[in-house]
Amino acid sequence: RRKLSEKKEKTLGMIKPDGVEKLGQILDEIYKRGFLLTRLRMCCLDRNQAFRFYEEHRDKPFFNALIDYITSGPIIVFEIVNTNAVDNWREAIGPTDPSRARTVAPTSIRAQYGIDVTRNVVHGSDSAASAVRELEFFFPSSGPMLPNTSKGGNCT
Ligand code: RTP
Ligand code: MG
């Protein structure tokens, strides 16, 4: 029997628009850490979809910059199934700000590939509950899936 602390768990990972330009290297980082990807797709968020995905941040000063960034090009989203997937993936990506990541977690993905606090290349759900919501957002169990491209966003 597995220990509670080793529970199999799912999380939502995302390679953000600037990360897609470094796709091969970032996928390498994912696989060399042993993460198992069970679903994956490329899509574009329009502004309404981005608002919904990042709803919790709507009152933050960085909200508009975040929406501009996340709608600036295609993203890649994936489901990770692993023991402690939420925490392990968050640890692999590192702190939000890549410059801080380079100090406290120099081997993390954001430390190596992040540009600045907005353009930080990757996303990870911050809790098991967020993971359920975010996986349902991109991989709905019923109803229509978000289109792979959207004329409403900056993706063409
Ligand atoms: P994420 O949700 O993308 O995994 O990142 P996170 O938990 O580390 O950071 P969060 O606080 O959830 O912020 C979401 C995204 O907003 C942008 N951000 N900009 N200018 C700023 O101070 C700032 N703070 C956050 C980043 O793209 C961050 O990943
Ligand atoms: Mg977050």
Q: Is 84 left (phi over 0), alpha (psi -120 to 50) or beta?
A: left
Residues 152, 147: Cα–Cα separation, whole Å: 11
Confidence label for 5 from pLDDT (cuts 50, 70 and 90): low
Q: Is the CB of 99 under 6 A from ligand 1?
A: no
Question: pLDDT tens across 77-100, in order?
Answer: 999 999 999 999 999 999 999 999
**How high is the mean pLDDT of the chain?**
93
Q: Is the CB of 110 under 6 A from ligand 1?
A: no
Q: Is the CB of 13 under 6 A from ligand 1?
A: no
- HEC letters along 87-131: HHHHHHHCCCCHHHHHHHCCCCHHHHHCCCCCCCCEEECCCHHHH
Residues 48, 67: Cα–Cα separation, whole Å: 9
Q: Whose CA is nearest to atom 13 of ligand 1?
A: 96
Distance 14 CA to ligand 2 centre (A): 11
Q: Whose CA is nearest to atom 9 of ligand 1?
A: 96
ipTM of the complex: 0.95
Distance 153 CA to ligand 2 centre (A): 21
User: What is the arithmetic mean of pLDDT over 104-128?
Assistant: 98
Confidence label for 144 from pLDDT (cuts 50, 70 and 90): confident
96 labeled part of a ligand binding site: yes
Residues 6+ apart with CB under 8 A from 4: none
Check: CB of residue 40 under 8 Å from CB of residue 78: yes
Q: What is the pLDDT of residue 153?
A: 46
**Atom in ligand 1 nearest the alpha carbon of residue 93:** 4
Name the active-site residue from 71, 80, 93, 123.
123
Question: pLDDT tens across 15-56, in order?
Answer: 999 999 999 999 999 999 999 999 999 999 999 999 999 999
Is residue 123 annotated as a catalytic residue, yes or no?
Answer: yes
Q: What is the pLDDT of residue 2?
A: 62
Distance 1 CA to ligand 1 centre (A): 37
User: Is residue 152 over pLDDT 70?
Assistant: no
- The amino acid that residue 76 corresponds to is I
